[in-house]
Chains A and B, each alone.
Chain A
Amino acid sequence: EVQLVESGGGLVQPGGSLRLSCAASGFTFSSYAMHWVRQAPGRGLEYVSAISSNGGSTYYANSVKGRFTISRDNSKNTLYLQMGSLRAEDMAVYYCARERGGHYYDRWGQGTLVTVSS
């Protein structure tokens, strides 16, 4: 069974840093591009970042460019999101999602909540 399990969320002060992880199982992780998508409380979904299957290419939404870094360790079947210079508007549930070739997400994790507050 395909599973994506996020972890690492929590309370962080404005300007602080946090690293999210997404542990994948049940599929060949190294064969798929992976994404982070977030959802602020009571708001819609927002694309955050993506990484190619081999980690050689990374992409970011303008809202996080220069502050967040996406990476992956295919030997550990794990996706990461290093978040820095966090702002109140970064507060959200962060989901990892598996991308299919037709540019859609066929599997999602359960999400991890990031709270940015002093």
Chain B
Amino acid sequence: QSALTQPPSASGSPGQSVTISCTGTSSDVGGYNYVSWYQQHPGKAPKLMIYEVSKRPSGVPDRFSGSKSGNTASLTVSGLQAEDEADYYCDSYAGSNNYVFGTGTKVTVL
């Protein structure tokens, strides 16, 4: 199972929006509404930000939103804040108890 494709980096100024793409295939992203997104600060464990494409766990700011079109999922962070600077990973269920992560995107707040 190949990793989902994410851009290596993305950036924006405080208050701006940044969107991260996550491209897979019809066997993973396109085949299931089971895409999730994780935020990881250096040296820390990943934290769930979005699940089932667009649902937000309690405690995650509504500045974070998710969507999907075909084989590509997206995470948008609106109103960027300094604490949003981190690595972000998408993840998709790929059937038969297989899971595949994205390659990861480093978000920089300028």
Contact = CB atoms under 8 A, between A and B. Distances in A.
Given A95-B46, A102-B34, A108-B45, A59 B52 contact: no
Interface residues of A, number: 22
Interface in B1-58: 1, 3, 32, 34, 36, 38, 40, 45-48, 51-52, 55, 57
B101 A109 contact: no
A100 B45 contact: no
B34 A45 contact: no
30 contacts: A37-B101, A44-B89, A44-B101, A44-B102, A44-B103, A45-B38, A45-B46, A45-B91, A45-B101, A45-B104, A46-B101, A47-B99, A57-B97, A59-B97, A59-B98, A102-B34, A102-B36, A102-B51, A102-B52, A103-B32, A103-B36, A103-B99, A104-B34, A104-B36, A104-B51, A104-B52, A104-B91, A108-B45, A109-B45, A111-B45
